[in-house]
Amino acid sequence: MSTQRLFGAGALRMSHLMRAFLLTILLAPALVCALAATAVAQTPTTKPTAKPAPAAAPGGPKSIGSFDDWQAATYTEGNQTVCYAFVKARQSAPPLQGRGEAVLTVTHRTGLRDSVAFTAGFDYAAGAEAEVAIDAAKIAFYTAKRSAFARDGRAVVMALQKAQKVVITSPHPQKIKVADTFSPKGFGKAYEAIGKACPPK
Q: Give yes or no: residues 38 and 108 share one domain.
A: no
pLDDT of 74-108, one tens digit each? 999 988 999 999 999 999 999 999 999 999 999 99
Instruction: Tell whether 51 is covered by a domain.
Output: no
Instruction: Tell whether 18 is covered by a domain.
Output: yes
Residue 37's region, left for phi above 0, alpha for psi from -120 to 50, else beta, is alpha
* pLDDT above 70 (res 48): no
pTM of the shown model? 0.70
Give me the pLDDT at residue 84, please.
98
Confidence label for 187 from pLDDT (cuts 50, 70 and 90) = very high
Q: Give yes or no: residues 118 and 183 share one domain.
A: yes
Q: Whole-angstrom Cα distance, residue 28 to residue 24?
A: 6
Q: Give yes or no: residues 118 and 164 share one domain.
A: yes
Q: Give yes or no: residues 149 and 83 share one domain.
A: yes
Q: Give yes or no: residues 182 and 106 share one domain.
A: yes
Q: Give yes or no: residues 93 and 27 share one domain.
A: no
Q: Give yes or no: residues 26 and 85 share one domain.
A: no
pLDDT of 17-26, one tens digit each? 334 433 333 3
Q: Give yes or no: residues 94 and 164 share one domain.
A: yes
What value does the mean pLDDT of the chain take? 79
Q: Give yes or no: residues 38 and 79 share one domain.
A: no
Interhelix angle 187-197/153-161, rounded to 10 degrees, is: 130
Where is 31: in which H helix or E strand?
A: helix 16-42
Q: Using alpha carbons only, what angle is made at residue 158 by residues 115 and 89, rounded to the nearest 5 degrees?
A: 65
- How many C-beta neighbours within 10 Å does residue 123 have? 14
The residue segments making up the domain with residue 148 are: 62-197
Q: How many folded domains does the chain comprise?
A: 2
- Overall average pLDDT of the 143-153 stretch: 97
- The gap from C-alpha 157 to its chain's centroid, in whole angstroms, comes to 30
Give me the pLDDT at residue 143, please.
97
More confident residue, 143 or 58: 143
Instruction: Tell whether 57 is covered by a domain.
Output: no
Give me the pLDDT at residue 128, please.
96
Give me the pLDDT at residue 58, please.
56
Range list of β-strands (E), the chain: 62-67, 70-77, 80-88, 91-93, 103-109, 112-119, 129-134, 137-144, 147-150, 166-172, 176-182
